[in-house]
Amino acid sequence: MIPTKDEFYKALVDRHGAENQKKFDEAVVAICGLGGLGSNIATCLARAGIGHLILIDYDFVDVSNLHRQHYKINQVGMKKTDAMAANLHEINPYIKIETHNIKLTEANTKPLIEKADIVCEAFDSPESKAMLVNLVLEQMSDKYILSSSGMAGFGSANDIKTRRVSKRFYLSGDGVSDVNAGIGLVSSRVMVCGAQEAHMVLKILIGELEA
């Protein structure tokens, strides 16, 4: 039997407290990129009861994604936005999900994320990472931006940390490991980094701004 919305919400209140859960429920978070990092962030936030997620990606689920991304083998070939929305609604059927199947550019990004309180950058491309971080910091002074650097390989997961770079900018990762240097991305380490970003989102929403 599927719990009602009230039952689901009460379970979250029992875990997080009524005041915190109200803030989560009223929040809008944009997740830009739905690969290993973004799909993990989205899953954590849906479980926490974030009320509204904006999911943005232009890619399709590939079999090579399955070892580290929150997709299923029967979703290979689907748009990542559609597959992710379906998976999140299985976890939390009461969440509002807005999807944009598009590649973000400097020209089109701002209107797609303007409703968000917090933006999570989860791209593979360094150029796309820089574009999004710079756009938010320079043009959207009411928003926080979370990004990442370094989560590849079999190094200790304890090396992955979150730090506050500036007033509205947070960075998660080990700051060193490179996907192109030897072993690539490993599911468990990617999940740790995604969870770090998601946890920082929750902390920001309840007013705990230090990493």
Mean pLDDT of 107-124: 97
Look at 185 and 182; give whichever has higher pLDDT.
185
Find where tokens 């083998």 sit: 73
Look at 166 and 176; give whichever has higher pLDDT.
166
pLDDT at 20: 98
Local confidence band at 181 (pLDDT 50, 70, 90 cut-offs): low
Pairing type for strands 161-166 and 169-173 reads antiparallel
pLDDT above 90 (res 177): no
29 closest CA partner among 8, 9, 46, 7 = 46
Q: Which of 37-46, 97-106, 150-159, 181-190 has the lowest mean pLDDT?
A: 181-190
- pTM given for the model: 0.95
Specify the CATH class of 18-205 in words.
alpha beta
64 closest CA partner among 48, 54, 77 = 77
pLDDT at 182: 63
Quick one: what percent of the chain has pLDDT higher than 70? 97
